[in-house]
Amino acid sequence: MAHSLEAKKRIQLKEKHLRRISVLVFVYWFAWFSMVSLDPFKATLPSWLAYSGLLLFLLGVFFFVWSHKGAKGFAEKEYLNTTGAYSKVRHPIYLGFSFWVVGLPIFTQSIATLASSVIWVLHMAYWARLEEKKLEEKYPQYKEYKKHTWF
């Protein structure tokens, strides 16, 4: 009985933690999108470069959505997902988001926002490394999976 109570408390704590993280992510997203439109440092880029940013942004959105569809939510899985976007890329959500945060500021020609993208991309690379360590421990086949996929 005490074991199930302890497990229930752990789940509640994890859910509380996830809610806090979700709120924080929402605040960061809101701030980032505000920064894109209110960026005081605008550049005048050649049209081809601005539209390349739009293409990169749209590619990022595509990867982000495609990978979420394959992940089917944020619940922890009991299996290693190697289908869909995950058959090509180990971290398609992070990759898509990286394209997103670099492409949109290029398209909108927002220099300060583009500079802040470096922070986002570095965070995602760090999160991916942490995630990979956990996945290698949880799934023995993960090292082999890494050999056949990118990022």
Tokens of 80: 């290693």
31-45, 61-75, 91-105, 122-136: which range is least confident on average? 61-75
Long-range contacts of 136-139 (CB under 8 A, 24+ apart): 139/80
pLDDT at 20 > cutoff 80: yes
Mean pLDDT for the stretch of residues 41-58: 96
* SS3 call for 80: coil
Q: Where does residue 89 fall: left (phi above 0), alpha (psi -120 to 50 degrees), or beta otherwise?
A: beta
pLDDT at 84: 86
* Least confident among 3-7, 34-38, 42-46, 144-148: 3-7
Percent of the chain with pLDDT over 70: 93
Decide which of 22 and 43 is more confident. Answer: 43
Q: What is the pTM of this model?
A: 0.77
Given a contact cutoff of 8 angstroms between Cβ atoms, the answer to whether 64 and 97 are in contact is yes
pLDDT in tens, 54-107: 999 999 999 888 888 766 655 566 788 888 889 999 999 899 999 999 999 999
Q: How confident is the model at residue 31 (pLDDT cuts 50, 70, 90)?
A: confident
* Domain extents in the chain: 1-38, 42-147
Give the burial string for 35-61 (b: 16+ CB within 10 Å, else e): ebeebeeeeebeeeeeeebeebbeebb
Contact 94, 124 (CB under 8 A): yes
Residue 5 corresponds to which tokens in the numbers above? 């109570």
Mean pLDDT of 1-7: 69
The rounded distance, in Å, linking the Cα atoms of 101 and 92 is 14
> Can you give the pLDDT at residue 107?
97
Number of Cβ within 10 Å of residue 67's Cβ equals 21
